[in-house]
């Protein structure tokens, strides 16, 4: 178990070294020097570019002519028509069962 722990510590250290080396921090890797806060004043942070403008809403397309909107001239449904429709549905259900 001790060997596994030591191997993992060495593996993490090697991974840290490789990451620093690849990222260009070779001075930190070779000499163990780290950047201090007073040295940061020389480097100006890169300005973030302005985000692109948000796209405008698309214009609604015209409805196709095959779809007819409901009009106020539609006939009101009476209770006799609803009852006959209900009876037809009940007959269909009985015939299926």
Flag whether 60 is in a domain: no
Q: What pLDDT shows up at residue 67? A: 60
Flag whether 25 is in a domain: yes
27-60 confidence digits (pLDDT tens): 655 555 555 555 555 556 667 788 788 878 877 7
| Cα end-to-end distance, the chain, whole Å | 70
Flag whether 92 is in a domain: no
Whole domain around residue 27: which residue ranges?
2-31
Confidence of residue 26 (pLDDT cuts 50, 70, 90): low
Flag whether 42 is in a domain: no
* Nearest by Cα to 20 from 5, 32, 8, 2: 32
Distance CA 88, CA 91 (A): 5
Flag whether 72 is in a domain: no
């Amino acid at each position: 178990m001790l060997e596994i722990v030591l191997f993992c510590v060495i593996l993490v250290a090697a991974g840290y070294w490789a990451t620093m080396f690849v990222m260009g921090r070779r001075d930190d890797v070779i000499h163990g020097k780290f950047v201090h806060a007073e040295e940061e004043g020389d480097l100006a942070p890169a300005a973030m570019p302005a985000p692109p403008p948000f796209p405008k809403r698309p214009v609604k397309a015209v409805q196709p002519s095959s779809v007819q909107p409901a009009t106020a001239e539609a006939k009101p449904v009476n209770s006799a028509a609803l009852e006959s429709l209900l009876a037809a549905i009940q007959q269909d259900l009985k015939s299926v069962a």
